[in-house]
Amino acid sequence: MTQSSSKYSEAGVDIDKGNLFVSRIKNIVAETHGPGVLSHIGGFSGLFSLSNEKLKDPVLVASTDGVGTKLAVAKLCNKHDTIGIDLVAMCVNDVVVSGAKPLFFLDYFACNALDLKVAADVVRGIATGCKQANCSLIGGETAEMPGLYQPGDYDLAGFVVGICDADAIIDGSNIRAGDKIIGLASSGFHSNGYSLVRKVFFEELGKNVDDYITPLGCTVGEELLRPTRIYADSMMSIVQHFAVKGVIHITGGGFIDNIPRILPKGCTARINAGSWPILPCFTYLQEMGGITPGEMYRTYNMGIGMMVIVSASDVENIQRQFRDHGEQPYLIGEIQSAETGSDQQIFIDGVY
């Protein structure tokens, strides 16, 4: 056994180190567990009971995602304790769009060779994200693949399962002309468009992660590693008390590609581009990178990470409740009837 393990280690995979890693993160993972968790880390699978979910016709809602090349920035900064928050955010923000409450989360961590500190920091961030989303981290996979990844590289994927009642699924089918669009402030770039971000900051401008950028009020690394905002808690408070007609997570594709995904035929969304403050990171990137407004709105969230479509009569109360949960809501647009013969489903005043 010892000889076999040693030979495998020589090939680049250290089983003992993997076992040590599991032992180090057990308590971190356990801190995220809610009443539905029936298993402990280290088993072959994660078990979760739905007995506490008092729903008439429960529907499971699942999503999977990654964080893209934001990982490259984490490597440049040698800071890995927040990228896990991004991973959780990108997944749970997608399931709350359907009105689902996140239940449990799993992660996949692949690398060249396991660095215990880096991997533990990543899981610590995932646990933090799960706490923010009120979901349990019930398992994951750590894979050492020296023939596939370069030394120091790793990749992440996340998987979340949520739940909602069948008659409470939010799918946009009830959206009508006259409905209003509330936008929730983002924390920055979130986890999208980083290939272009890195090209502008590092290649075209020649910046380093430690360079201080006065318009941003922080270093390059601090701005680019700012964690993605998780909207699960505030969104659950809204869907439990109001009739939400549509929710849009502004991820890759920005405003232009994401808004039409929820709109029924015959409806268009008109966005007032001056109704919320554009974050400095977007203004700086656009100006320094020579990027057109249209491309910015098709690549980035521009300061709005989530949109909620509701009846006009509910706007004031919903905004108040969002503020009570720590969000910054803005009334950013409305739904209109599509012009005859037009298939365009989004208009951004002065931009698109």
Q: What is the mean pLDDT of residues 98-117?
A: 98
The residue ranges of every structural domain in the chain are: 2-166, 180-348
Domains 2-166 and 180-348 alike in fold = no
Give the whole-angstrom CA distance, residue 344 versus residue 323. Answer: 32
Share of the chain above pLDDT 70, in %: 98
Angle 243-247-251 from CA coordinates, rounded to 5°: 170
- Judged against a pLDDT cut of 70, whether residue 5 lies above it is answered with no
Q: In what order do the strands lie in the sheet with 154-165?
A: 58-65, 154-165, 101-111, 136-144
pLDDT range class, residue 2, cuts 50, 70, 90: very low
Segment 246-280, tens digit of pLDDT: 999 999 999 999 999 999 999 999 999 999 999 99
List strand residue ranges (DSSP E) for the chain, in order: 58-65, 101-111, 136-144, 154-165, 180-185, 212-213, 218-219, 246-249, 267-271, 304-310, 329-337, 346-348
- Counting Cα atoms < 13 Å in the Cβ hemisphere of 50 gives 14
- Judged against a pLDDT cut of 70, whether residue 4 lies above it is answered with no
CATH number of 2-166: 3.30.1330.10
Question: DSSP character for 8?
Answer: H
- Judged against a pLDDT cut of 90, whether residue 339 lies above it is answered with no
Question: DSSP character for 229?
Answer: P
Segment 175-225, tens digit of pLDDT: 999 999 999 999 999 999 999 999 999 999 999 999 999 999 999 999 999
DSSP helix/strand/coil, 243: coil
pLDDT range class, residue 318, cuts 50, 70, 90: very high
CATH fold of the domain at 180-348: Phosphoribosyl-aminoimidazole Synthetase; Chain A, domain 2 (3.90.650)
